[in-house]
Amino acid sequence: MPDQQLGIVMTLLSVLMVLFTGMIRAQPGDLTVTGLKVEYMSNPVGIDEHRPRLSWKLQTRQRNTRQTAYRLQVSETGKFSADGILWDTGRVSSDRSVHLAYRGPDLESGKRYFWRVQTWDNHGNRSGWSDPAFWEMGLLTPGDWAATWIEPGLEQDTTRPQPAPMLRREFQLDGNVRRARAYVTSHGLYEMKINGQNVGNQLFTPGWTSYHNRLQYQTYDVTDLLSSGDNAVGVTLGNGWFRGWIGFSNQRNFYGTRLALLVQIEVTYADGTTELITSDGSWKASTGPIRMSDIYDGEVYDATMEKKGWTNAGYDDSNWTPVRTARHGKVHLAAPDAPPVRKIQELHPVEILTTPEGDTVVDMGQNMVGWIRLRTNGPRNHIITLHHAEVLDKEGNFYTENLRAAEQKVTYILNGGGDEVYEPHFTFQGFRYVKVEGYPGELTKDDLVGVVIHSDMEPTGHFETSSALVNQLQHNIVWGQKGNFLDIPTDCPQRDERLGWTGDIQVFAQTACYNMDAAGFLDKWLQDLEADQREDGAVPYVIPNVLGENAVGASGWGDASVIVPWTLYQAYGDERILQQQYDSMKQWVEFMRERAQADSTTYLWDNNFTFGDWLSFNSDASDYPGAYTDKELISTAFFARSTELLHKTAVILGRNEDAMRYTGLHEAIKDAFQVEYVTMSGRVLSNTQTAYLLALQFDLLPEDFEHAAIRYLLADIRERGHHTTGFLGTPHLNPVLSQYGYDQQAYELLLRTEYPSWLYPVTMGATTIWERWDGIKPDSTFQDPGMNSFNHYAYGAIGEWLYKTVAGIEPAEPGYRTMAIKPTPGGGFTHVRSIKETMFGTTASEWNFTGDRFSMRVEVPVNTTAEVTLPNAAGKEVISGGEELSDGNGINTSEEQNEDLVLDLGSG
C-alpha cells in the first residue's frame, strides 16, 4: 500500500488545488501590530540587557503585505505625551520588525519602561498604535545590591541530605505601598513567602548555572503581598544542584557545603519615599517538615513538624538560631535569559492496578516529569511512601533497576486530624508508574494528581498526519522535550544523572526549535557552556560541568558550542547569539586544530577520546558484530563541520580575517579527510551508514564521488533492512536520503515498526523517546539497566525532518524572514498538517489526498514571503481559490522547475 500511494503522489496528480488561508481583500486600516516581545519575553520583569531588543508581529487580512516603515516610542511613565517620551524613533523606512535594539538614553536599574509601535505597509496603510507593552530592568551593577549574603546558623552534616533550612525576618512598613520588588537568589534552591503567600510561581530557582561563574537572581513584583504595618518574609532553602547529590560516584557538595540566601526587597510608598528590607544578620534560621530533599532521591516530609504561620508576622521565633553573614560576592549575579520552570499541566491516573508481586501501582498513562500531588486523611505519624518508575517489567511488576542508584522516593508522614494535601519541594521524578505504600484506607484515582513541570517555553510547532503511529511518535518527541528541558537540556530525568550532555542537544536543537520557543532556554545554557569551557578551548561533556576538569573534548559533543548557536541563528535570525558565542566557537575550533596537529602536520583529529556514534546498532550475528564507525573519522568530520560554520559566522559578523583563515582550514580538513578515509571508488572508511551520512551531510566528498557514496549508503540500508545509526548519524539519515531524492527510502525507514526503528518503541507502548532503540526488547525483556532511559530525546531529532521535509516548512533565510514551503508527499499519508509559529507570525503547511486529487493549504505571515513548491504539478491543472492559478493577488510569480510548480508568495 505505501508504494502504491507513493506512486499516486509521483504520477497521478491530475488536479492540484491550492488554498491560501486568510488571503481575502481587506479595507484600508486593517493593519494591526500585536505580539510585542522584549528579548523573546512578553512584558518581562527584571532583565539586565542594557540595550534590549524589541520585536513585534503584524496582522492583516490583505494579501502580500510587507512592512515599509515603523515608528517606535518608549516612555518611563506609560504616557506617550510629548513630554513623556524617553525615545522616539520617528518614522523609519524599514521592513525590520524583529530584534530591533533599543537605542535611547541609558536604562536604569529597577525601572519599568513602556513601549508601543506603529507601522506602515506596502499598500499605503498605516496601523494604529499597538497596545503598550513594557519591560522592567533588574539590578544592573553589583553596587545596586545593598543586601548581605546570609547562611543558616545551623550545624549540619553535609556528607548526607539534611533537613531544609528555613529563614525568616519580620519588618514594619510605615505607609501605603505603591510599588515593591523582591530581588532574590541563593546557593542551593529557594522557595519564598511573604505574609504567608507564595512569591511567584517559579520552581527550582535560581536555576542551574555554572555557579562559580554565573548565578541567576529573580525579580518579583510583591506589591500586593505587602501592607502597612507588620510584615514577615520566610525562605526555605534546598540542596538542589548546588550541594546535593549530582553526577556520578555519590558526589555531593560540588559547588559548596553551605546554603546561602540573598534577598533585597525595595518598597516605594505612596508618597514616593523608599525603603529597603534586605537579608542581613537580623534573620533567624530553623528547620521544619522537609527532613530530606534531594533531586535524585526524593523527599521525606514530616507534616507533624510543620511550623504553622512561620512566614507571617507575630510568629514566635525566639528559639530559632541566628544566621551568619557571608561574603560570597555579587559580581557574577545575572538576570535570567531563559523562561522559568513552572507547573505546566496536570495528569490524572488512568488505572490503579495490583502487580503480580502484590504492589499497588498507579498508572499515570504518560511518562512524565514532575511529581505527585497526594491527598490523604489518616492518623498522626502514619507513613505513606511513593516510589516512581517509568515502566513495568515483562510480568507486570514495578521496575526500577534502570534508575541505578537514584531512589526517586517520596515519604510523607501525616499530621493527622483531617484532609491533607502534599506536594514535594526541591526534587522531581521521571515516571509513569507510582507504587504506593502505606496509604490509609482505599486508594482512588482522585487521591493522586500528576503535576507536570518543565521550563515554561511557548509551544511553537504542531505536526500531525493520517498515521496514528507517526502522530504518537511526534507526541513522544514533544514529551521527551518537556521532560528534559528543565532549566537545562538534560539527557534523562529519572536516574542518577540528569545532566546537560552536549552531544544530545547538539543533535536535537533543530527539532527543539520547531516544537517550542527554545531561544532563551538555549541562550542561557550556551552562556554556561562558555563559562565552563576550558582555557584551551575544550568543551566539557556536560554543561554545567560537574564531571571534572578532564571530562572534556569529545567530538560531536563539544561541537554543540558551534552547532547550537548556528541553529538558533537559523531558527530566530538572532545575530547576537553568534556575537555572544563567537569566542567560544572559535576556541573550540582552535582546540580541535591544536589537537589534530599535535602529532603531525595533517588535519586529522585522531588523538582524543570521543564517544563516537553512541548507541549505534549492535548485533549478535557472527558475520555482523555491529555498525561501528571509526571514531577518528567522526572526529575529523565534526572538525570540518564546526570549522565551516565558524567560517560562515565570521562572514556574517564581518570578521574578514577570521573568515579567510577558517575557509582555508576547512578546505585543508576536507582534503585530509578525503585522502585518509575515502577510496577512489567513493567508499568511505568503516562502510557504515553513519560514515556515509557524515561525509555527505558535511559536504566532505568530491562532488563526483557523492553518487557513489549514496549508492553504498542505500545498499547497506537494503542489506540490513533498517538503519544502523546511533546518536551522531541518526539525525542526518532521512535528511540525506531526501536531499539526494530518495524520499521513498526515507519514508520506509520512518514507517518501519520492527526493531530497530523510530516506531518500534511506539508499538511497545512508549509515550516518550527512548535512549536505546531496544530499551525494551522484542521479547519484553530490558536492555542493560546501567544505561536504559525511557525518556531521552536524542533520537527525537527525526522531528526536524518531519517538519522540514514531510510538511515542508523551513527558513529560506535565518529567522523565517523568507521561508520555503516544500512538502514531500509519500508514506501512504493522505493528510499532513503542520504549524510553525515564527518571530513574524504563524506559518502553516497542510496537504491532503482525496482520491487522486491533491490539495494544499499554506499560510504565510505578514512581512514575510515564501517560496512554495507544488510537488509534481508542472503541466497539471492547478486551482487556487476556485479559479485557475495565475499571478497576482498574493502570488508574485510562478514557474515550472522540473516536475514541480514553484510559486513566490507574499503573506496570506
Q: Are 143 and 109 in contact (CB under 8 A)?
A: no
Which residues fall within 8 angstroms of residue 775, CB to CB, at 6 or more apart?
A: 761, 782, 783, 788, 789, 790
Q: Find residue 267's DSSP bridge partners.
A: 180, 275
Residues 198 and 192: their CA atoms lie apart, in Å, by: 6
The dihedral over CA atoms of 509, 515, 517, 521, expressed in degrees to the nearest 10, equals -40
Q: Which of 49, 299, 390, 497 is catalytic?
A: 497
Residues 598 and 559: their CA atoms lie apart, in Å, by: 19
Residues 844 and 462: their CA atoms lie apart, in Å, by: 9
Rounded to a whole number, what is the distance in angstroms from the first to the last CA of the chain?
Answer: 36
Residue 464 is among the residues annotated as catalytic for this protein = no
Judging by beta carbons within 10 Å of its beta carbon (0-12, 13-18, 19+), is residue 329 exposed, middle or buried?
A: exposed
Which one, of 651, 641, 715, lies nearest residue 684 by Cα?
A: 715
Residues 756 and 620: their CA atoms lie apart, in Å, by: 14
Name the pairing type of β-strands 215-216 and 333-334.
parallel
Which one, of 446, 434, 433, 432, lies nearest residue 410 by Cα?
A: 434
**Residue 732 grid cell:** 542526518
Q: Are 25 and 63 in contact (CB under 8 A)?
A: yes
Residues 429 and 410: their CA atoms lie apart, in Å, by: 9
The amino acid that residue 335 corresponds to is A
Q: What angle do CA 844, 850, 852 make, to 5 degrees?
A: 115
Burial 410-449 (b: 16+ CB within 10 A, else e): bbbbbbeeeebebbbbbbbbbbbbbbbeebeeebeeebbb
Question: Which phi and psi (to 5°) does residue 453 adopt?
Answer: -125, 150
Residues 305 and 518: their CA atoms lie apart, in Å, by: 41
Residues 572 and 90: their CA atoms lie apart, in Å, by: 26
Q: Are 623 and 647 in contact (CB under 8 A)?
A: no
Q: Are 506 and 642 in contact (CB under 8 A)?
A: no
The amino acid that residue 803 corresponds to is Y
Residues 477 and 749: their CA atoms lie apart, in Å, by: 17
Residues 814 and 730: their CA atoms lie apart, in Å, by: 24
Residues 904 and 672: their CA atoms lie apart, in Å, by: 41
Which one, of 835, 139, 14, lies nearest residue 462 by Cα?
A: 835
Name the pairing type of β-strands 409-413 and 298-302.
parallel
Residue 94 neighbours by CB distance under 10 Å: 13
The dihedral over CA atoms of 306, 307, 312, 318, expressed in degrees to the nearest 10, equals -160
The residue count of the chain comes to 908
Burial 603-627 (b: 16+ CB within 10 A, else e): bbbbebebbbbbbbbbeeeeeeeeb
DSSP-derived secondary structure letter, 683: P
Residues 589 and 533: their CA atoms lie apart, in Å, by: 12
Q: Which of 49, 706, 748, 771 is catalytic?
A: 771
Residues 542 and 561: their CA atoms lie apart, in Å, by: 12
Which residues fall within 8 angstroms of residue 620, CB to CB, at 6 or more apart?
A: none
Residues 330 and 333: their CA atoms lie apart, in Å, by: 5
Residue 771 is among the residues annotated as catalytic for this protein = yes
Residues 614 and 301: their CA atoms lie apart, in Å, by: 40
Q: Which residues are catalytic?
A: 497, 771
